[in-house]
């Protein structure tokens, strides 16, 4: 079993990145979106990334053009019917994902492998809405997808070995390193990353150090590319809050509980880079740390 053609559902930040790396691996890739406007936005993001790669001398113009020629957009599910692999990257909502795979099961070839890019929902719970649990797995990419070198390949109790092997081979073809993991909430990376970034907020709440000092501590002391507050703003505070909630519900462990400051910031709409303000204010260059503790 070899994956040659790919369908990606959703052209947001993750979906467009996944479609890009799939096409860069030489796979004809079809992106499904709910509207032409969203599709255009996703395609523009890909084009922009590839163009900047050419400008930086990281990518040859021919490679960019070949990647773009392998990408197709659609708003019709039936256009994914012959894809060897269909990867879902829509919003983190269990019932929306289940509805999607139930619909995809009706139009896609029985041989198609289905994958979800969920970061925290149960692959098993999503899978049971599809017609092919044994051909279903998780493929968890990291943000920004074109630059991050890891993909978690998540098997369930019933995933066939040959399906997992085909997925591992596909991930390697994208130039990324797969790690195998089983279907436990948060998989490997978020199991370790989420308590770490929540602890950074608790350290701030406890007066251990300022935002810049805690960020500098982890960047310069541990060699992390971003400190925890820069990373929180990058991932989105709402996304982190949501993932922490799912992990806390599953494990009932205090280390997954969202600190009050995170909750207050999410409710107030300070979500990080996407809203212009989070732990830093991005209206200024360089971004300025925001002290919300006294508010």
49 binds ligand 3HC (CB under 6 A): yes
Residue from the set 26, 144, 175, 260 that interacts with ligand 3HC by CB under 6 A = 144
95 is catalytic: no
Residues 101, 114 contacting (CB under 8 angstroms): yes
24 binds ligand 3HC (CB under 6 A): no
152 is catalytic: yes
Q: Bridge partners of 88?
A: 9, 116
Q: What is the dihedral of CA 153, 16, 31, 99, to 10 degrees?
A: 60
By C-beta, is 144 or 269 nearer to ligand 3HC? 144
From the list 60-68, 141-149, 204-212, 274-282, the region that binds ligand 3HC by CB under 6 A is 141-149
Q: How many chain residues bind ligand 3HC (CB under 6 A)?
A: 18
| Helix spans in 122-174 (H) | 123-127, 161-173
185 binds ligand 3HC (CB under 6 A): no
Contacts of 286 (CB under 8 A, 6+ apart): none
Hey, what are 199's tokens? 């602890």
Q: Of residues 117, 119, 122, 130, which has the active-site annotation?
A: 119
Measure the CA–CA gap between 227 and 233, rounded to whole angstroms.
10
Q: How far is the CB of 215 from ligand 3HC (least distance, A)?
A: 12
Measure the CA–CA gap between 244 and 81, rounded to whole angstroms.
35
Q: Using CB under 6 A, list all residues that contact ligand 3HC.
A: 49, 52-53, 56, 58-59, 119, 142-144, 147-148, 190, 225-226, 231, 235, 239
Residues known to be catalytic? 119, 140, 152, 190
């Amino acid at each position: 079993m070899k994956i040659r053609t790919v369908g990606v559902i959703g052209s947001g930040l993750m979906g467009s990145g996944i479609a890009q790396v799939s096409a860069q691996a030489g796979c004809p890739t079809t992106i499904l979106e709910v509207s032409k406007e969203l599709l255009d936005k996703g395609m523009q993001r890909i084009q922009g990334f590839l163009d900047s790669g050419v400008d930086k001398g990281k990518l040859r113009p021919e490679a960019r053009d070949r990647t773009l020629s392998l990408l197709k957009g659609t708003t019709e599910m039936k256009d994914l019917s012959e894809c060897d692999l269909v990867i879902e990257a829509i919003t983190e909502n269990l019932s929306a994902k289940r509805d999607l795979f139930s619909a995809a099961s009706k139009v896609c070839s029985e041989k198609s492998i289905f994958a979800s890019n969920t970061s925290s929902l149960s692959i098993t719970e999503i899978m049971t809405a599809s017609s092919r649990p044994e051909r279903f797995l998780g493929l968890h990419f990291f943000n920004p997808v074109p630059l991050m070198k890891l993909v978690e390949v998540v098997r369930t109790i019933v995933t066939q070995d040959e399906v997992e092997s085909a997925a591992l081979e596909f991930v390697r073809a994208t130039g990324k390193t797969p790690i195998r993991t089983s279907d436990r909430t948060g998989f490997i990376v978020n199991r370790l990353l989420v308590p770490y970034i929540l602890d950074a907020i608790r350290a701030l709440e406890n007066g251990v150090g300022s935002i810049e000092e805690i960020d500098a501590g982890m960047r310069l002391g541990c060699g992390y590319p971003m400190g925890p507050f820069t990373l929180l703003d990058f991932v989105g505070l709402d996304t982190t809050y949501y993932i922490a909630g799912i992990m806390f519900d599953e494990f009932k462990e205090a280390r997954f509980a969202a600190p009050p400051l995170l909750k207050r910031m999410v409710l107030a709409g300070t979500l990080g880079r996407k809203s212009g303000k989070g732990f830093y204010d991005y209206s200024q260059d360089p971004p300025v740390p925001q002290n919300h503790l006294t508010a």
